[in-house]
Amino acid sequence: MPERTSRAFHYKLGLNQPAESPTAKRMTEMAEAINREADGAFQLDVFAEGKLGTDPQMFADMQKGALEFYMTGALLGRTAPSSDLPLFPFAFTSNEAVFTALDGKLGDIIRADLKHAGIHALRYGWLNGFHHITTGTRPIRSADDFAGLKIRTPGGDFAADFFRTLGAEPGMVPFNDMYDALRAKSFEAQSDPLGVVLSLRLHEVQTYLSLTQHWWSGFTLLVNPAAWAALPPKIQDMVERNAEIFAKLQRADVEKINADGALELERRGMIVNRADTASIKARRFLRALEGKVSAVNLARARGPRGRAELMPPSAQSAFRLDGKVALVTGAGRGLGRAIAIAFADAGAEVLLNSRTIGELESVSTEIVATGGKAWPVPFDITDSAAMRAAFAGIARDFGRLDILVNNAGVNRPQPFLEVDEETLDRLIDLNVRALFLTAQAGARLMIDNGSKGGGVIINMSSQMGHVGSELNRTVYVMTKHAVEGLTKAMAVELAPRGVRVVSIAPTFIKTPLTEPFFKDPAFSKWVHDRIPLGRLGTQDEVAQAVVFLASPAAGLVTGSSLLVDGGWTAW
């Protein structure tokens, strides 16, 4: 129970969601829990269904202090550009991936943007869900069906711009007027999650449901900063704690409704189809929207780049990758993740590859959140057919490839006399065969599509590609020596075609791949004793070396290996 204060606070909370929706119900439960705990020191009343005005009106009232709390949807892009990032089309495939970003670094960036604009936002967002299209006249089967379609969109320029790139005619009416607008045929279609379609009974005024999952949206609980600052810290803690509890309950409620929504709407008479989303992605709307993404301030998000500022402009430009399209394999974590982030910082458009889409979405979100450009390209590089299909998609969607980092690899230490065939085959398959075929596909794309300034292929090798090893690494050493030989042969053969080929050979770096090995004290001592500089390398040190190799500053470097080994091979 809080200490009694000399002032009792009586605040209002406005939102547009129907009173019977899980969002309004959980919001009401949240307020009731806070009110009980506050025991008269604080009272929060919830007004659903737009009873306090339209969304723009409630937002304006919250800003000027006439309304203390307001739950907003996708309406903050002009106020805080970073808040549009979760709306980026096809950027996410799961709610888990979205909330990993929003509950973490991306959420911090958005809240900082809002604070700069004079708005306090509570940490934990609420779920609306992935959007699909409902229509009254024709189903959406492919991108061509958007042409001329009058569609009601959520507020904000970002959503409208997306549909304009598809040839549709977007427009806006307040959320609670949507049913009447569709019934009056002011609009032919609308975009919302399935739970919204159900709660507004849009199946009564729409015939078709086309499953697209084209973007995600959620809700943010905003507070007038003066009203928030007036609350005693104990009451602020009550609000934040209960907001987290009920946000997570609401997420589970809405996720279940959305998961079952298509079947329920079909049961209620809607004609359901799954749209060809590949045709939508092929329209290259990403390029049309990238200006929205670049509105996020890179320096603010990642901090100052002091060393770069000390360079003269000519030196800075020599290390830049602006306008380059780069593919990094094994980009979900470790060195691949670090390289992808460094490429994005240097201005490249980064294509992220691994087998694990969740990891790629996390890296992509981090890059996009700080003003960069990145897209997941999930495929298994040991699957030749999948790899070739992915390169065909890159050629179609981006028109070229300038940089390939062959980073994916594996190690399974075993004594030479105990190496089993499964281990032998696995390391050769991933570290040599897949690397060879990926490099071949990358080189073909660079040559066929005229990579501007010549292409660059960077093969991830190791210091073990230059020496032997007495500690159970025979197969790994063999594969990395193969990489070094391949790099030299490719460089000679591809130089007349304008493609440089280099390798990078790090010492031991602490990554998810190597971390288990360092739990062995004897192994850790052996490694540190062999490095003249006396320490492990960092992922950023390797990533910046890769940026150099990919940049114009390394224009005369080909057929060689850059050792980032702390002196290991100098003994």
Report whether 331 contacts 374 (CB < 8 A). Answer: no
What is the distance between the alpha carbons of residues 207 and 365, in angstroms, rounded to a whole number?
A: 35
What is the distance between the alpha carbons of residues 371 and 197, in angstroms, rounded to a whole number?
A: 33
User: Over its length of 571 residues, how does the chain's per-residue pLDDT go in tens digits?
Assistant: 333 344 689 999 999 999 999 999 999 999 999 999 999 999 999 999 999 998 889 999 999 999 999 999 877 877 887 787 777 888 788 888 888 888 888 888 889 889 988 999 999 999 999 999 999 999 999 999 999 999 998 866 778 888 988 999 999 888 889 999 999 999 999 999 999 999 999 999 999 999 999 989 999 999 999 999 999 999 999 999 999 999 999 999 999 999 999 999 999 999 999 999 888 877 755 544 544 444 443 333 333 333 333 344 444 567 889 889 999 999 998 899 999 999 998 889 999 999 988 888 888 888 877 778 899 999 999 999 999 999 999 998 888 899 999 998 888 888 899 989 998 999 998 899 999 999 999 999 999 865 555 799 999 999 888 988 777 888 888 999 999 999 999 999 999 999 999 999 999 887 766 778 788 888 888 888 989 988 888 888 999 999 999 999 999 999 999 999 989 888 8
* pLDDT score of 306: 30
CA-CA-CA-CA torsion for 321, 398, 335, 563, nearest 10 degrees? -50
The domain spans of the chain are 9-82+93-126+217-259, 130-216+265-280, 316-565
List, in order, residues 6 or more apart from 231 with CB less than 8 Å away.
9, 42, 239
What is the distance between the alpha carbons of residues 321 and 390, in angstroms, rounded to a whole number?
A: 23
DSSP type of residue 312: -
List, in order, residues 6 or more apart from 100 with CB less than 8 Å away.
362
CATH of 316-565, one of 3.40.50.720, 3.30.2010.10, 3.20.20.80, 3.40.640.10: 3.40.50.720
Our answer to whether residue 476 is catalytic in this structure is yes
What is the distance between the alpha carbons of residues 228 and 232, in angstroms, rounded to a whole number?
A: 9
Q: Among 124, 476, 488, 525, which one carries the catalytic annotation?
A: 476
Q: Specify whether the backbone of 242 is left (phi greater than 0), alpha (psi in -120 to 50) or beta.
A: alpha
* pLDDT score of 208: 97
What is the distance between the alpha carbons of residues 571 and 568, in angstroms, rounded to a whole number?
A: 6
Tokens of 22: 């899980």
What is the distance between the alpha carbons of residues 8 and 518, in angstroms, rounded to a whole number?
A: 57
* pLDDT score of 545: 94
Tokens of 291: 């200006």
In this chain, the answer to whether the domains covering 9-82+93-126+217-259 and 130-216+265-280 adopt an identical fold is yes
DSSP reduced 3-state for 94: coil
Our answer to whether residue 480 is catalytic in this structure is yes
Q: Specify whether the backbone of 90 is left (phi greater than 0), alpha (psi in -120 to 50) or beta.
A: left
CATH of domain 130-216+265-280: 3.40.190.10
What is the distance between the alpha carbons of residues 178 and 49, in angstroms, rounded to a whole number?
A: 12
Closest CA to 481 of 503, 501, 514: 503
CA-CA-CA-CA torsion for 168, 170, 175, 180, nearest 10 degrees? -70
Tally the C-alpha atoms within 13 A of residue 377's C-alpha that lie toward its C-beta.
28
Report whether 386 contacts 379 (CB < 8 A). Answer: yes
* pLDDT score of 317: 66
What is the distance between the alpha carbons of residues 340 and 270, in angstroms, rounded to a whole number?
A: 44
* pLDDT score of 314: 44
CATH of domain 9-82+93-126+217-259: 3.40.190.170
Q: Among 25, 124, 480, 510, which one carries the catalytic annotation?
A: 480
* pLDDT score of 304: 32
The beta strands (E) that lie in 115-248 are given as 120-121, 126-130, 132-135, 150-152, 169-171, 189-192, 208-211, 216-223
